[in-house]
């Protein structure tokens, strides 16, 4: 973020309150959001099941940026900017596939799966292909989830992932596959979508389907007995009950908490009944759900029988995409072990609610009469986002 934009926002921001209007409307701020926040943050781009054999690749886009993630012939995985090193053309035009090389559609510069420049026609004497490989990104794989960061020095994440590893291991996230992906276009700045996800202050009144089953809609003091009852059930099916909450400047945000569903609900389904085969090493349903956050931008809800990943991807200053990814055990078969409609029902309905909520929020924020109000105690996650945003953007 430019010094002027940063200084102005910091000066106007009042701790404990929502952010001022230009935080969401300024073209200068949006440009710096991508350059100074997204490009310096860890971003969840996909799952190893998308790269089963050498030559498999997929592309992940955010704002004006585009990332290629590919499996090389030796089995290693790499991530690269989807930008030709010649004159900047987008290199890979397909969303996913399998290929031997990446060839630029403009002047046919050709790159190996490793990113190394293989061929460039009619270049002057002294041209060294070794100087013009694809620009690499930092890549981390955690339990099958793939994260990238474009910063020269990314936020510390490895110690945090080591801390989370034993907690998520029983779910067997690596041994999963994507069952469905849905995208919801929202005419709003991406930060309003993130803020909406970072609090459940709105859940009871705005998400009626979700609120029937998820106790997180309530303030913590109202669910103490439910949480205490969940812990022995979680241990009985093979789940630890430890919690992680890390919001430290210069480090990737981490959050892990198992919370109870209401009585009669074994998973996030319409009726409470199971939706798919149990994940990983679990021996049964504990009637809980896990909130997992690895970096502010990457959010997961882990039930006993499926996982839902959430991303809020900037498209332009006043447009973003809510992208929802449903994952099931790798050997689960659609139509036999799970039904697509039943599996996706809850978070499809919830995302439609969110599109409406965020759209109306943006419409109100556009008003010159908008004055930021105080945050509820149930909106502490928004403050965590603001702190991370300013910390990372300041570089």
Domains of the chain plus CATH, in order, are 43-141 (2.102.10.10), 157-394 (3.90.380.10)
Model pLDDT, residue 4: 65
Contact (CB, 8 A) for 252 and 160: yes
Angle at 211 between CA 207 and CA 214, to 5 degrees: 130
Q: Which residues of the chain have pLDDT under 50?
A: 1
Spatial distance between the Cα atoms of 366 and 371, rounded to a whole number of angstroms: 11
pTM to 2 decimal places:
0.95
Give residues with Cβ within 8 angstroms of 13, minimum separation 6: 19, 20, 386
- Please report, for residues 125, 200, 297, 336, 392, the alpha-carbon distance to residue 344 in angstroms, rounded to integers and kept in the order given: 57, 20, 21, 16, 34
Residue 53: other Cβ atoms inside 10 A:
9
């Amino acid at each position: 973020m430019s010094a002027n934009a940063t200084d102005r926002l910091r000066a106007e921001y009042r701790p404990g309150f929502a952010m001022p209007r230009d935080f969401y409307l300024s073209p200068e701020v949006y440009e710096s959001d991508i350059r100074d926040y997204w490009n310096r943050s860890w971003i969840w781009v996909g799952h190893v099941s998308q790269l089963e054999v050498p030559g498999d690749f997929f592309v992940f886009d955010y704002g004006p940026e585009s990332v290629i993630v590919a499996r090389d012939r030796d089995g290693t995985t790499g991530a690269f900017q989807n930008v030709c090193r010649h004159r900047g053309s987008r290199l890979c035009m397909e969303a996913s596939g399998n290929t031997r090389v990446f060839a630029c559609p403009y002047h046919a510069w050709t790159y190996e799966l490793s990113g190394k420049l293989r061929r460039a026609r009619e270049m002057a004497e002294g041209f060294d292909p070794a100087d013009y490989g694809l620009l690499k990104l930092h890549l981390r794989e955690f339990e099958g989830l793939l994260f990238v960061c474009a910063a020269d020095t990314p936020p510390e994440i490895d110690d945090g992932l080591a801390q989370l590893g034993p907690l998520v291991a029983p779910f067997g996230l690596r041994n999963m596959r994507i069952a469905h992906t849905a995208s919801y276009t929202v005419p709003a700045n991406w930060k309003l979508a993130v803020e909406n996800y970072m609090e459940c202050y709105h859940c009871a009144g705005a998400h009626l389907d979700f609120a029937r089953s998820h106790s997180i809609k309530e303030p913590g003091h109202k669910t103490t007995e439910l949480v205490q009852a969940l812990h022995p059930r979680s241990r009985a099916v093979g789940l630890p009950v430890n919690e992680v909450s890390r919001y430290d400047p210069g480090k990737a945000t981490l959050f892990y908490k198992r919370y109870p569903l209401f009585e009669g609900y074994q998973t996030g389904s319409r009726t409470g009944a199971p939706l798919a085969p149990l994940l990983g090493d679990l021996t049964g349903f504990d009637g809980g759900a896990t909130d997992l956050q690895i970096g502010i931008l990457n959010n997961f809800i882990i039930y006993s029988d499926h996982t839902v990943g959430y991303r809020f991807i900037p498209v332009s200053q006043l447009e973003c995409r809510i992208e929802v990814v449903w994952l099931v055990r790798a050997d689960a078969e659609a139509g036999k072990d799970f039904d697509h409609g039943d599996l996706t029902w809850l978070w499809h309905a919830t995302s439609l609610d969110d599109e409406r909520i965020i759209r109306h929020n943006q419409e109100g924020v556009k008003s010159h009469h908008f004055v930021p109000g105080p945050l509820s105690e149930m909106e502490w996650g928004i403050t965590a986002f603001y702190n991370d945003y300013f910390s990372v953007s300041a570089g």
